[in-house]
Structure 1
Amino acid sequence: MADPNAKVWLITGASSGLGLALLMRAVSRGDYVLASARDPSRFDPIFSTLCTGQRARVHVLHLNVASPFSEIKEAVDGAVRVWGRIDCLVNNAGIGAVGASEEQGAEGMLHVMHTNFFGVLNVTNATLPHMRARRDGTVVIIGSRGAYCNEFMGIASYAAAKAAVHSYAETLSVELRPFNIRVLLVIPGTFDTAINRPPKLALHLHADYDAARADMDVMLGQLAGMPGKGDPLRGMDVVVDVVKGEGKAGEVMRGGGKWPLWLVLGEDAIRDVKERLARMAEALDAWQEVGSGLTPET
């Protein structure tokens, strides 16, 4: 059984990117990690960087979030038996794909949505019975600033899936409140991970988009080499702080701050979310007279 004073984390997509950074920070702070990936062999080089005590607190789990729910549930049920509980589920696994929405079509959109939205839904639903039984737990969902900064070519499927995840997390937070289960929607900006180099996905090419595709290639090249990206380890340290009530997060909570449904990470993400909120407020102010007074006339 796990130390009752430590957290047991289940992290999907834990072999790379933000998931790996979170694994490293959690075990370095004395917690246990159920680390899932589609290919468990990817953890072999990672283990070589951990000390013996840390390796003993990591259990590798073969889990593809795009699998049928029955397979996901079997994997999660088995994971619970390792240390007797899951204190914090982190829905991190996801895929990126860029291309014009018309060229991706419904098939491309469903491909991304299947992993980035329905994968989150299925893993969460497989974990919730265990948390509800204990009347305790935290569900972390890794969203994206792309849900707010999405007015450019190529991001439609990824941004739509993340926007769906955001809305799901917000409703889920209300549904789970009676069971003492918290929901944290993490909205990262640009961190130094492979998600900055997403593959192209175009199933129905149209010549009209040739110029836009060329511009998209230039933009992606600039993004890959952009300086000043966030440090994944520092970003995930903040997530651990919030979940455990430590560090700056602990200071805010002890000072009367409420649990944050939204946790925006990085100056670029903070800027983009604020800009979107300001633009929406401006549109509401300018057009509220047009959209008001629509009740039946007497």
Structure 2
Amino acid sequence: MGPPTVWLITGASTGLGLALTKRAIERGDFVLASARDTTRFDPFLAELDSQTRARVHTLKLDVTAPLADIQHVVQEGLAVWGRIDCIVNNAGLLLVGASEEIGAEGMMQLMQTNFAGVINVTNAVLPHLRQRRTGTVIIVGSRSAFRNEFTGVASYAASKAAVHSYGETLSAELKPFGIRVMIVVPGTFGQPMSIPPVPPKNPHADYDAARKAMAAFLEAMKHNKTGGDPLKGMDVVVDVVKGEGKAEKLMQPGSGCEWPLWLLLGEDCIRDVKARLENMGNVLEAWKEVGSGLSRSDT
């Protein structure tokens, strides 16, 4: 077992962020747990013994704040244990509705949290990681970026597709500095987020049926007891970062496996991503002749 890891986790007061915080400290690590409202940590912290409690430090952090404010919070976090080993960009919002009715304003509101927030938090920590020439950046994405061909998810799926692409390029940019990047793509884990469709400012009657179907779907999701266990899912994330548990064999030198840029969590996520890749492959094969032979030298 390696040395303890110091984690900075955004959106750590609920959901997967809280599950990751729990798993990390259970395995002897230290966590800078951040959220917009730190009082939401109180029930969780009250359950910890004094020794374990000493390995959790809460930070008041709004990922939509200006970069200078986020940098100030990161400096506060660095002062606690002297370093940050792993950033986990987990904070995010869900907005549901037909894309025409949500419009660019609604989509950009979501992008401010789900995309710009990830960039600003990461950039606030990167000088520290580059100086140390080591560290891990985790971006929590979504299978919605791969399974999005139905009404209501355009803004959320687009924001997650944006951070997926950002993470891929960031991986190449940071590799020379010994910094790893991993995009975690969860399927359905535990109690899902349930937000009713936002009442549109300018509703279109053509979307009435779709809006009704979205509301019924979200209501059904409130009672969904299937899907993955958040603690088990986040245990896998800790395994990969630390090279332990389920990931130990694959992380050994000579295993032939490289650090995973993508980590798909849950059978539903694996199924949906495979289906998207197969569909794209089929389209590519069927239409490749149409898109070929277009260079200046082709006659």
For this structure pair, what is the TM-score category when the shorter chain's length is used for normalisation? over 0.9
CA distance in 1, matches of 2:201, 2:45: 39
Q: CA deviation at 1:256?
A: 3.1
Q: CA deviation at 1:258?
A: 1.0
- Pairing partner for 1:25 from 23, 26, 29: 23
- Pairing partner for 2:57 from 52, 55, 59: 59
Q: CA deviation at 1:198?
A: 2.6
Residues 203 and 70 (structure 1), Cα distance of their counterparts in 2 relative to 1, 3 Å cut:
farther
CA distance in 1, matches of 2:191, 2:70: 26
User: Which deviations, in whole Å up to 9, do the C-alpha atoms of 1:21-73 show, x marking residues without a partner?
Assistant: 00000000000000000001111111112221111000000000011111011
Name the residue aligned to 2:179. Answer: 181
What TM-score, normalized by structure 1, do the two folds share? Answer: 0.96
One-letter code aligned to 1:176: L
Name the residue aligned to 2:145. Answer: 147
CA distance in 1, matches of 2:37, 2:55: 19
One-letter code aligned to 2:244: E
Paired residue secondary structure (2:173): helix
CA distance in 2, matches of 1:206, 1:71: 40
1:284 correspondence with 2:284: yes
Name the residue aligned to 1:206. Answer: 204
CA distance in 2, matches of 1:23, 1:109: 29
Q: Confirm or deny: 8 A CA contact 2:191 2:222 kept in the other structure.
A: no
CA distance in 2, matches of 1:27, 1:51: 12
Paired residue secondary structure (1:200): coil
1:228-267 matched pairs, under 5 angstroms: 228-254=226-252, 255-267=255-267
CA distance in 2, matches of 1:259, 1:129: 22
Name the residue aligned to 2:155. Answer: 157
Q: Confirm or deny: 8 A CA contact 2:136 2:180 kept in the other structure.
A: yes
CA distance in 2, matches of 1:194, 1:147: 17
Q: Confirm or deny: 8 A CA contact 2:184 2:265 kept in the other structure.
A: yes
Name the residue aligned to 2:34. Answer: 36
CA distance in 2, matches of 1:119, 1:32: 23
User: Which deviations, in whole Å up to 9, do the C-alpha atoms of 1:90-141 show, x marking residues without a partner?
Assistant: 0000011100001101110011110000000000000100000100100000
Larger deviation: 209-218 or 282-291?
209-218
Paired residue secondary structure (1:217): helix
Name the residue aligned to 1:268. Answer: 268
Name the residue aligned to 1:129. Answer: 127
Paired residue secondary structure (1:95): coil
CA distance in 2, matches of 1:64, 1:130: 20
Paired residue secondary structure (1:139): strand
CA distance in 2, matches of 1:251, 1:57: 28
Paired residue secondary structure (2:92): coil
Q: CA deviation at 1:204?
A: 2.5
Larger deviation: 155-164 or 205-214?
205-214
CA distance in 2, matches of 1:252, 1:193: 31
Q: Which structure 1 residue ranges, 4+ long, deviate > 4 Å from structure 2?
A: none
CA distance in 2, matches of 1:61, 1:199: 29
Larger deviation: 63-72 or 217-226?
217-226
Q: Confirm or deny: 8 A CA contact 1:108 1:203 kept in the other structure.
A: no
One-letter code aligned to 1:190: T
Q: CA deviation at 1:205?
A: 1.5
Name the residue aligned to 2:97. Answer: 99
What TM-score, normalized by structure 2, do the two folds share? Answer: 0.96
Structure 2: which 5+ runs fail to align? none
Q: CA deviation at 1:77?
A: 1.3
Paired residue secondary structure (1:90): strand
1:76 correspondence with 2:71: no
Q: CA deviation at 1:199?
A: 4.1
User: Which deviations, in whole Å up to 9, do the C-alpha atoms of 1:211-266 show, x marking residues without a partner?
Assistant: 11011112222323233211100000000000000011011122332110000000
Paired residue secondary structure (1:230): coil
Name the residue aligned to 1:294. Answer: 294
Q: CA deviation at 1:200?
A: 2.5
One-letter code aligned to 1:198: I
